[in-house]
Homo-oligomer: A and B are copies of this chain.
């Protein structure tokens, strides 16, 4: 396993939207990082991204990365079905891994990847970037500090501005594994507690084509934590006014909630009403800062040899919860997490 120097030397796998975001953060805003190579099976895309951000090398063969002794860490930004294998390869090559979520849609693949990481001793951080959003961090601090008292109930409202293309829906693993998974992670992040039971109900309300593709676009998921705290996550693939991301924790001393971020604080008082600006449009607008901060945190863990803030088990748990939600939705019953994991 590589010994990290003054600067952490990264290879990026994938050259899509999220790869570009991470590359921009690593090359422009994080002096402690250096990106040596971008790999994508579409080598033209790899080359273009590399050039755009001044990355010295691009390749169409990710295998090159694992053989390259100059590389300390790999950021896996390729499509979901490749994550687990790349984690395994990177672990075997002694490279630390930052991997986009989810690890895999299949629990066997997740476990194989985690086993390889475990064996090799490299560090693995999962890209649940919302954990680094200052709002949710503040909310979690309020819970941890005892400010809300004994927790009673968690409520997460999570709505996309518009549904993804059907081609995406078909490969996504379904709403629970693609969208709710972030909210499951948030539900785990905010409370020092583990979810034991999931009860989910889904519906097709936004677009019948989503239903025809075998997925749902609207859902309500109730969770029960070990402590007995209840939580509820509501999802919709379409809120035409923008990305709606509200979270609230109620406890014995009151509630702390997080409203949507807006691009400005302008208020228009007109004959039509008193109008505030809409929420920031979508993931990249809303969580912009958290993407840089999760990488800073990962780099800090590498340099200081500390535990990463989002572990492989943190990556596994929401997959389990999403699988449980799927069963609950289909079988119309509460599913115990122990059913999935044992």
Question: Which A residues fall within an 8 A CB radius of B?
Answer: 28-29, 134-135, 138-139, 142, 147, 150-153, 155, 157, 159, 197, 199, 201-206, 218-220, 222, 224, 228-232, 234, 236, 238-241, 244, 250, 252-279, 332-334
Q: A142-B268, A254-B270, A274-B276 are in contact. List 15 more A-B contacts (CB 8 A).
A: A152-B205, A153-B234, A199-B199, A203-B230, A205-B230, A239-B269, A240-B253, A240-B270, A253-B270, A259-B265, A259-B266, A260-B265, A273-B278, A274-B277, A274-B278
In the complex, the answer to whether B142 meets A266 with C-beta atoms within 8 Å is: yes
Known contacts: A228-B205, A271-B240, A272-B275. The answer to whether A263 contacts B134 by CB under 8 A is: yes
- Complex Cα distance A134/B244, Å? 22
Return chain B residues, CB-CB under 8 Å to A201: 197, 199, 222, 224, 230, 334
In the complex, the answer to whether B271 meets A152 with C-beta atoms within 8 Å is: no
- Complex Cα distance A205/B241, Å? 35
Q: How far is the CB of A180 from chain B (nearest CB, A)?
A: 13
Which of A204, A265, A271, A276 is the most central at the interface, judged by chain B CB atoms within 10 Å of its CB? A265
In the complex, the answer to whether B263 meets A267 with C-beta atoms within 8 Å is: no
Return chain B residues, CB-CB under 8 Å to A202: 230
The residue in chain B whose Cβ has the minimal distance to the Cβ of A147 is B268
Known contacts: A238-B252, A252-B238. The answer to whether A257 contacts B272 by CB under 8 A is: no
12 interchain pairs, CB-CB under 8 A:
A134-B264, A138-B264, A155-B157, A155-B234, A230-B234, A232-B234, A240-B253, A240-B271, A261-B265, A274-B275, A274-B277, A275-B276
